[in-house]
A and B are shown apart, each in its own frame.
Chain A
Amino acid sequence: MEEVDKILIHALKQVGTEVSEETGSVRQFSSELIVEAVVRCVRVIDPGLGGALPTSLPPGMSARFRVGMSLAQACQDIGYKGEIGYQTFLYSNEPEIRSLLMFLVEKLPRESAEASDQPQGKSAVLQRAIAAAIRAQLSVPWLPPNCRLPLHSQTQSPGALHSFHVQPLSLAHCSPGKKPLKEVKDYHRDILPPVTAQPSHHASVVASILEQHTAELSAAQEWDSEWNSQGLLSRLKPQEYRSRKLTRLRKRIEEQLRSAALPSPESASGGPRPNGDLSELLQAFRGSAPSDHILTKGSHFTHTQKFTFTKTEPSTSIPFVHQSDSDVQLRQQEEQLSLQEQQLCSEVDQLTADMKHMTVTHAQVLDKLKQRELGNSEKEEKMQVKKKTIDLLPDSDDNLQKLKALVEASAKRVVHLASQWEKHRAPLIDEHRRLKEICSRQDLESSQKLSEIKSVHDKICVSTEEAKKKEETYKQLVTELENLPQDASRSAYTQRILEIVSNIKKQKEEITKILSDTKDLQKEINSLTGKLDRTFAVTDELVFKDAKKDESVRKSYKYLAALHENCNQLIQTIEYTGTILREIRDLEEQIETENGSKTVANLERILSDYKAIRQENSALAAKVREG
């Protein structure tokens, strides 16, 4: 029982019951302690049920009775099957309490089950650590600034917080495959200050480092994922893929810029040419670029803007200021000038429109010219053919013959050439087919290899993830192991259990031994009684036969009968004493159990409690009467 009690007390301590060090067994539990232990267990098992129960017994007797009743009800609600009532708590007896406490401790939710429900992984551990830290900080009461100890200043004073400001840092990276220039090395060695000295405020050091690190990390990750998803499929080298993406982006930017630039007045007056590429366009946008004609046009635009602004300002200020003659003249002049300027502007616009028109008509005229030229050359050819035929006309027969011969020769040549062509063509076509086959085979192979690469890549990803997960779980388990309370070690429990099991085995063996012994004894007794019966019957017969003849034998026969009877009586009495001894032992056990359940003390307590209740009742009645 000692072992069981120790385990029970340990479990109760974990629930939060204050069990003093001296109490080593359930026998020493007082009623108050029992009530507290049971209520705390019930609260852990079912917070809704246990929340209403008080942890200590009230002073009044009737109130105690009620608490006992509600506790018994709660235990039955949880599922306790044994006999339970208010008397269990108020007038405790050891075995009942032990069985009740064992039931409750078994019902307690296991920590291990809880842990397995929680999400795994490094982030989970981190989150739990954060939650623990926040809980600890929340449990610290808020203090006014004057009362703060240095311990609180970290979490409670706002002065320790810095806002997150990032400044660019310069780090000495060693990019692989590229040897750094001598100047770069010198700079890194002699002049570059350490990272902690680079930002202007000391507070932004951590922020800057974190930011730089995340930026690099996310860039690397993004590239990795893009390369795996799209880059591998494009069957290009990384550099080629990058350059292709760059050109694509350039094209897009160029389109965007052009479409944005078209409606602006700059390009209406003949801005960047429509067929230039991005760099040209950028040149056009770069203010300090040496491409002068665009620069002047931009400045022209700003000039007109300036003019319109300066023009409106004086006109609004006219009515308020007294004007001298010269001012008036100046104003007139200005107006004239602005009028002239406007005229000029409109002229320029007109001229540009004219220019456009002209260029269009010019292009049209050029087209027409080309067409005409083409027609001319055709006509010239026709004319030459006709001229030749006219030349040939006078000697027609001869020429006809010649022509026929020529035609035949050329037909022959054509046939010859065709046969030659066929000769050349057949191997070429074969070659072509062969190459095509090789090509398609290579294509197939390459796609197979690509898919293999992809699958290998996926496998790598999966296995790295698995490795990571396993590492995380390992770390988590290690931290959990470290966090586990050291006082109740699992191995000790298992050892004890094993010891108990071996003890039980030994006892079982002994019991079987004793059982076989008793069986043997029984057998021996049976055989002996049988033997006795038989020998008695035989002797009885022999002696009875002789008894008729001889007087002394008759006497001995009488003795024999008496002996037999006496022996039977003896055996009977021995059996009787055995049963009586057994009964005595039973009764002694009963007495012990009754003693264990503190009946006398409990009866006395019941009596005193009964008296107390009666007193309370009489006091209440007196109050009622007074009231």
Chain B
Amino acid sequence: MVVLLSRLPATECIKFCHRVVDGLCGREPPRRSEHSTTWSPEEWLQLLDSLSAFYRRAVGSDSSEEEVRARGVCWGGLADVGSSHAEAVLSVLRARREEIHHALLDRTNSISSATLQDFDWQLKLSLSSDKISSLHTPLLSLSLDVREDAALRSVTMEMNREELNTLISSLEAANKVIL
């Protein structure tokens, strides 16, 4: 499927591949609107899939350059592209190997069904409530961005000092168990 790449000039091809790797590493992938004239939607999807699968396999199997060259044929039809394009794809692989490796490790780390993507906290000082006119209690509102089956779900909770301490101690205990 990588044969579709040959519609781009070689210099553009390097940039495009880097953008694809960016997408692999969790940043912004290339936009279709920039290349809408070059590929049809189906071709676009195929190209993206095959390119990212190629990079994933090349780094995931931890194979050397010759192996990649040899196996690239069955992974993504690397042989069908012109030599300059194949060279471009491989140079991007050489340049970004570490980064892709890290991204794959992260993916493996988040193997469980729900993983913590991000967390954010705000400290609030509640001055009074409906029962007590002067409260002056600090409250921490913690929001956890949990990724569950590729969908982000935000879990928000509010707790006072003691509850926060219990949460932190239990998290520390969990960390100790893992180590």
Check B143–A184 contact: CB distance below 8 A.
no
Check A168–B26 contact: CB distance below 8 A.
yes
Residue of A165, A187, A199, A288 ringed by the most chain B CB atoms within 10 A: A187
Known: A164-B119, A191-B18. A198 touches B95 (CB 8 A): no
Chain B 7-40 interface 0/1 with A at a Cβ cutoff of 8 Å (1 = within) = 0000000110010001001111000000000000
Nearest chain-B residue to A181 (Cβ)?
B94
Known: A163-B143, A168-B103, A184-B95. A198 touches B18 (CB 8 A): no
Check B120–A168 contact: CB distance below 8 A.
no
In terms of DSSP, what is the predominant structure of the interface of chain A?
A: loop
Nearest chain-B residue to A191 (Cβ)?
B18
> CB of A196 within 8 A of chain B?
no
Known: A164-B120, A191-B14. A183 touches B26 (CB 8 A): no
- Give the distance to chain B from A319, nearest Cβ to Cβ, in Å: 35
> CB of A592 within 8 A of chain B?
no
List B36-82 residues whose CB lies under 8 Å from chain A: 57
By the criterion of a CB under 8 Å from any partner CB, how many residues of chain A are at the interface?
17
Nearest chain-A residue to B19 (Cβ)?
A191
List A65-99 residues whose CB lies under 8 Å from chain B: none
Q: Which of B14, B18, B27, B103 contacts A167 (CB 8 A)?
A: B27
> CB of A186 within 8 A of chain B?
yes
Residue of B14, B27, B96 ringed by the most chain A CB atoms within 10 A: B27
Known: A181-B94, A184-B94. A200 touches B18 (CB 8 A): no
Contacts of A183 in B (CB 8 A): 91-92, 94-95
Nearest chain-A residue to B99 (Cβ)?
A170
Check B95–A181 contact: CB distance below 8 A.
yes
Known: A168-B103, A191-B14. A200 touches B28 (CB 8 A): yes
> CB of A166 within 8 A of chain B?
yes
Contacts of A170 in B (CB 8 A): 22, 25, 27, 99
Starting from the known contacts A163-B120, A168-B103, A191-B15, 8 additional A-B residue pairs (CB-CB under 8 Å) come to A163-B143, A164-B119, A166-B118, A168-B26, A183-B92, A184-B95, A186-B95, A191-B14
**Mind listing 20 A-B residue pairs with CB under 8 Å?**
A163-B120, A163-B143, A164-B119, A164-B120, A166-B118, A167-B26, A167-B27, A168-B25, A168-B26, A168-B27, A168-B103, A170-B99, A184-B95, A187-B18, A191-B14, A191-B18, A198-B27, A199-B27, A200-B27, A288-B57
**Chain A residues engaging chain B, CB cutoff 8 angstroms:** 163-168, 170, 181, 183-184, 186-187, 191, 198-200, 288
Which 10 A-B residue pairings sit nearest by Cβ, starting from the closest?
A164-B120, A183-B95, A187-B95, A183-B94, A168-B26, A200-B28, A183-B91, A184-B95, A163-B120, A191-B18
